[in-house]
Amino acid sequence: MKLFSLSLQQCLVRWSIVLIVVIASTALASQPAQASAPVENHCITFGGIDLNEFYGVPEQLVAPGCSQMGSGEPYRVWAGWWMNSSFAAVPPEFVPAGDTPLEDFVAKFVAVKYVVDPGTAKEKMYIVPNRGDLWTGILFGLPHVNTLTLGVLKPLPVGQHRIDLYWIFSAMHCDGFSEVVAESCLPAGETRFGAPGRPAFEVTADQR
């Protein structure tokens, strides 16, 4: 179950590990997550789930059903992936790095890349390495990972904003649901998560 479909036809498959080392995460909000946002932020979506409580993060969220935020606060971007509890089916060329799809994902996931306001004069690129703080758990009865815990982004000015989001892997990851690469696998290198310019959201003058 993938609420944000990955368009593999639009993947920018290239090696980015060296770039991650060069571009430090100084573009991220400088304060620790626990001290950077008020506790009253609550993104309610997916039929009533409070994503802030579910993932244990206090910052404002850009997520499905949560496309507005107040100005002056750092924020996180929801990006989730579901997988099978076992490798029930995989392509013949796939080489797992763990006994389960979840273990494979965690072993191969290198970083998340955010391009905020792409193609504009305000464009900023943030690359956040996986330092072991990738969120893992169960959501809707399936193993689930989410990269929102990897980093907090700096506040944005009032107005409309867009984000191009990419995941970077050291080797091919497969979710264990099918043998079809285009349906169940993410390639080595850089893969766009979602459509270009998505998610799109608005920063308002009022605190949300």
Q: Return per-residue pLDDT of the chain as tens, 208 residues.
A: 333 334 332 333 222 322 332 233 334 443 333 334 445 799 999 999 999 999 999 999 999 999 999 999 999 999 999 999 999 999 999 999 999 999 999 999 999 999 999 999 999 999 999 999 999 999 999 999 999 999 999 999 999 999 999 999 999 999 999 999 999 999 999 999 888 878 999 999 965 5
pLDDT of residue 196: 80
In the chain, domain spans: 8-204
Distance, CA of 26 to CA of 39 (rounded, Å):
24
Length of the chain: 208
Alpha-carbon distances, residue 53 vs 3, 31, 59, 76, 77 (angstroms): 19, 20, 11, 14, 15
Cis peptide before 157 (omega within 30 of 0): no
pLDDT of residue 207: 58
Inter-residue contact 59 to 36 (CB < 8 Å): yes
64: tokens are 């499905």
Q: What is the pTM of this model?
A: 0.81
User: What element of type H or E holds 24?
Assistant: none
pLDDT of residue 153: 97
